[in-house]
Structure formats: C-alpha cells, structure tokens
Structure 1
Amino acid sequence: MTRIIERLSEIGGDYDVLFCDLWGCLHNGKQPYAAAVAALQEFRQGGGKVVLMTNAPRPNAYVQAQLARMGVPDDVWDLIVSSGDAAQDAMFAGAVGRRVWFIGTEKDDGFFNDIPAEWADAPPITRVPLEEAEGIVNTGPFDEMNEAPEDYRARFMLARERGLKMLCANPDVVVDMGETRIYCAGALAQFYEELGGEALYFGKPNPPIYDRARRLLGLGDQARILAIGDGINTDIRGALQEGIDALFVTGGLAAEAFGRDVESPSPDLLQEWLTHHFLDPQYSIGRLR
C-alpha cells in the first residue's frame, strides 16, 4: 500500500538520485511550482543528484532553454534527459527510414536540426509529404490546442495501408497547459495503433530514457534512485518496471480523482484508484514540496 507523505524531505535521505518529471511536478507548462523548486534545491544541498526526466520531444538543450524562460533556476538539477534525446538516436539510426512525414510544430524543429555529434556523418533525414514517406516522426499534433487524434483518421489509415512505422517522440497522452488539457504525441501513437499501425516509443515508461540517464550519470547497480511523477502509465509504470522506487504526485493529471484538497489526497480514493490501475508506488504526495 502506498505511503502518503507531506514533504520530499521525509524520505529524501534514503536516496542518492531523483528522476523527476517536469510537467505537473516542477511546472504547469507556464510557470514553476515554488514548493517543488525548493524541494529539489534542498535535496541537492544534501548531496543528492537530480535528473529532470521528461517526455518532451525535443533535445535536452531546448528543454533547458524552456525552463530558463519559465524562471526555473538552474540549481534544481544536475542533468536533463528528454524523450527527444532517446528518440533522436533512433531516428538518425534509421528506425523509420530517412524520408519521413513529420507530425509536429515548429517548436520541435530542433529534433531534426540539432544533430548530435555522434550522428554528424549519418545520412540526412528529410521531411516529405505523407505520400512520399518511408516512415512517420510524431512529436505531437500540428495544432495542439485544437486538434484531437480523431482528426488524423484518414491520414493514419493511409499510412497504415502503406505499412509506415511511427516514431513517437513523446509517449505522454495528455498534459495540462495551465488550465487547458492538450493531447500529446502519445495520444496520436495510440490511435495509430488502434487503427492497426505500428508505433515505436522511446520516452517513459520505456527503457531507453532510463538507460541514458544512468549512463550519463555513471550510476552503478547500487545507486538508490527515486522516480517522481504524476503520470501513472509513464512515470510510475516506467519506474516500477525498472525496479526503481516511485513517488506519485497525485495533484497532477489525475488530481480530481482523489478528493477536493489537491494537497491532501484521500487515502481510500487513492488506494482504490491505484488498485484499478494495478500499480502500487511506494509513496504518494499531493504536490511535490
């Protein structure tokens, strides 16, 4: 049964490293949560390392710039690892071919243009119309504020008939942009699979993003890691599959399921909800603080 805590400091001393989600935990898409910033700063001041692990479909440099624009201080983290980093490796390796139909917006152009040094000599990836594509690269809807997966039915059915694989650079299904809930790349990938297409995933809950974080930090098998997140099927499922302890932030995507007080989830409602999802994180907290 999950243990509900009030502050990260209650358990922080038991861990060497945090794998902390961003959206819904550290910020709301527009501004940082002051209490979460303070909690991560305190953990680092105690000697711990913080990895900001995000399903953002952009290379980590772009995530860092976005955090700076929001006003997130750079002393809350040691390393940023994004789904975009792991997915980029797969794309430049040719996982979905070299002529691709790109679903996304201009803000994700860095996924193609910021070529990692290790792929500098690789054959180029060219964005082409669907009819000419060998595969699909999906970083999210063309119009994330207004579109839903159903809007892509006709194009996805054509892609399925052509046998195109889809590289999904962000397995998240939805996120909250302030008070507005928007669909992410994961929602499009799931819909494509429902129509009979094949999708490849590289962010949480899949192993590549965790492997990258461990490798870059030089973590051994004995490192004590705590994963923090509000996505039950991404952050929490991924952590538990990796054998990592998890802290579920109930005040994020699923906040309405746990009672009226976002800061204090109902133990009974929380346990019933977790049982329904067949997951049992070691810890839960209303908001990261």
Structure 2
Amino acid sequence: MTQIIAALSDVSDRYEVLFVDLWGCVHDGVRAFPAAVAALQRYRANGGTVVLVTNSPKPRLGVATQMRGFGVPDDAYDTIATSGDSARAAMFEGVVGEKVWFMGEWERDHEFFEPIHVIHDPVAITRVPLDEAKGIVCCGPFDPMADPAVNRPEFLLAKQKGLKLLCANPDIVVDRGETREWCAGALARLYSEMGGESLYFGKPHPPIYDLARRRLAEMGRDAGNAAILAIGDGIHTDIAGAMGEDIDSLFITGGLSARETATSEQPEPAALTRFLATEQSNPTYAIGQLR
C-alpha cells in the first residue's frame, strides 16, 4: 500500500540514487519550485546522487540551459538523461530512415538534429516533406493547444506509406504554469490508434532507464534497483516506468493528478486510494509536492 510521506527526507536515507522527473516536480515550465530544489540539494549534500530523468525531447545540455532559466541551480543534480537523447541516438542509427518528416517547433527543437557523440557512424538525416519521407520524427505538436486530431489527414497518408513515427517525448500533456499543453506522446498515441507504428524512448519505456544508468556509469557510480528511488508526477510515465524497472517510486500528487487526488498541501488519502485503484498503480510513496 502506498505510504503518504511529509518530506523526501523521511525516506531518502534508504536510497543512494534518485531518478527525478522535472516538469511538475522541480519546475512548472516557467519557474523552479524552491522547496523541491532545496530537497535535492540536501540529498546531494548528504552523499546522494541525483539523475534528472526527463521526457524532454531536448539534448541534456539544452535541458540544463533551460533549467537555469527557470531558476534550477546546477548543484541540485548530478547528471541528466533525456528522452530526446535516447531518441536521437535511435534516429542517427536509422530506425526511421534517412529522410524524415519533422513534427514540432523548429525554433525550440532544432537541437534534436545536432550530432550525438555516442553514435560512431551516424546516418545522414534530411528533413523532407511528408510525401517524400521514409519516417517521422515527432518532438511535439505544431500547435500545443490544438487537438491532436487535426493531424489525422497527415497520419492517414503516413500510415498508408508505412512510415514509423519516432516519439521523442511520450508525455501526453504537460502543465506550463497554469496552461495545459499537448505533447508528442498524444500524437504518437493517435498514430498508433490509427494503425501506424510509434517508437518510444522516454518514460515509461526501458531505453531512457538504460540511458540513466549509463549516465551513472559515466560518473563512476553503480546502483542496484533497491538503491534507486524514482520521483515523478506522471502515473503513466514516471510511476509506470519505475514499476516496470522494479524500482521504488515517490508519486508527486500535486502535479498532473492534483484534482483526482484532491491535493492541496497533501493528497486526500481516500481520493488517492481511489485514483490508484482506478489506474491500477502502486507507487511506494506519495507526497503533495517534492520537498
């Protein structure tokens, strides 16, 4: 049964490593959550290692730059594993072909196409119109406020052509401040529902956890599953991923599921129990906000 805790410090001494989600846990897409930052700084000061594991389609350097803009200091974490880096590696290995139709906001997502050093003989990727494409690279919707169904005509053509869709961010929605936006995962889900093939690399899928462990290895660290705690507000991404990896999890109820769990300062226990039963999920711990 999920245990509601008052602070990360109630359980953090049981774990050597934290896999921490960003959006909804450490920042809201506009600014950092001071209590969350302080909690991670304390954990690191006591010898713990913090790996930020995010479904952002950005490379890790892009995420680091973005976080500084939000007010998240560098001493709040040790390293970063992004869905974008995991998906980029696959793209440069040619999983969706050399000629790709790109979905996203180019000004924001252009870093996705920059070379990645872990691939020694990368495929030369060219962005082309859909009718010339051999695959789709999806970093997000063209308009994050538009219903994903607006993409049905293009997806019908893509399915008929047998194109695979590489999804750089499996999140369905995200809250930017007070505004809820659609993410790449919503488009990949629609494409799959229409009979197309979508490839996922972020939470809850294994590739991003493999990348997180490689990031630990780069630091000379190694931790077994029992020594890792995953933290996040996505019941279908962060928590489902942790359960699939057989690692403990801390569910941040005041993020995407604040209404369902009746969270103000803390989740209402009965509401949390109902929500988890409906979702068939069993996080190890729960808390209103990371602190």
Residue pair 1:86, 1:209 contacting (<8 A) in 2 also = yes
Match of 1:110 in 2: 111
1:120 deviation in Å? 5.9
Specify the SS of the correspondent of 1:258.
coil
2:208 pairs with 1:240: no
Residue pair 1:83, 1:203 contacting (<8 A) in 2 also = yes
Q: 2:286 aligns with which of 280, 284, 287?
A: 284
Match of 1:56 in 2: 56
Q: Give the letter aligned to residue 239 of structure 2.
A: I
Q: Give the letter aligned to residue 155 of structure 1.
A: E
1:222 deviation in Å? 6.1
Match of 2:194 in 1: 195
1:216 deviation in Å? 2.0
CA distance in 1, matches of 2:69, 2:182: 23
Identity of aligned residues (%): 55
CA distance in 1, matches of 2:136, 2:103: 7
Q: 2:229 aligns with which of 226, 229, 235?
A: 226
Specify the SS of the correspondent of 1:274.
helix
Change in Cα spacing, 1:135 to 1:222, as seen in structure 2 (3 Å) is: closer
CA distance in 1, matches of 2:62, 2:209: 19
Aligned-residue Cα RMSD (Å) equals 1.1
1:121 deviation in Å? 4.1
CA distance in 1, matches of 2:280, 2:118: 40
CA distance in 2, matches of 1:274, 1:58: 31
Q: Give the letter aligned to residue 109 of structure 2.
A: D
CA distance in 2, matches of 1:174, 1:210: 21
Specify the SS of the correspondent of 1:109.
helix
Deviation digits for residues 41-87 of structure 1 (CA, Å, limit 9, x no counterpart):
01001100000110001110100000011111110000111000100
Residue pair 1:134, 1:164 contacting (<8 A) in 2 also = yes
- Aligned residues between the structures: 286
* 1:116-265 alignment runs, 5 A limit: 116-119=116-119, 121-144=121-144, 146-218=145-217, 219-221=222-224, 224-259=227-262, 261-265=263-267
2:29 pairs with 1:22: no
CA distance in 2, matches of 1:194, 1:13: 43
Normalising to structure 1: TM-score of the pair? 0.97
Specify the SS of the correspondent of 1:50.
strand
Specify the SS of the correspondent of 1:166.
strand
Q: Give the letter aligned to residue 108 of structure 1.
A: D
Deviation digits for residues 197-223 of structure 1 (CA, Å, limit 9, x no counterpart):
000000000111111111221224366
Deviation digits for residues 211-264 of structure 1 (CA, Å, limit 9, x no counterpart):
1111221224366000000000000000010011000000000101122x4211
CA distance in 2, matches of 1:89, 1:60: 13
Match of 1:32 in 2: 32
CA distance in 1, matches of 2:189, 2:89: 22
Residue pair 2:17, 2:223 contacting (<8 A) in 1 also = no
Q: Give the letter aligned to residue 109 of structure 1.
A: H
Q: Give the letter aligned to residue 36 of structure 2.
A: A
Where in structure 1 do 4 or more consecutive aligned residues deviate above 6 Å? none
Specify every segment of 5 or more residues in structure 1 that has no aligned partner in the other structure, as ranges: none
Normalising to structure 2: TM-score of the pair? 0.96
Specify the SS of the correspondent of 2:259.
helix
Change in Cα spacing, 1:2 to 1:192, as seen in structure 2 (3 Å) is: same
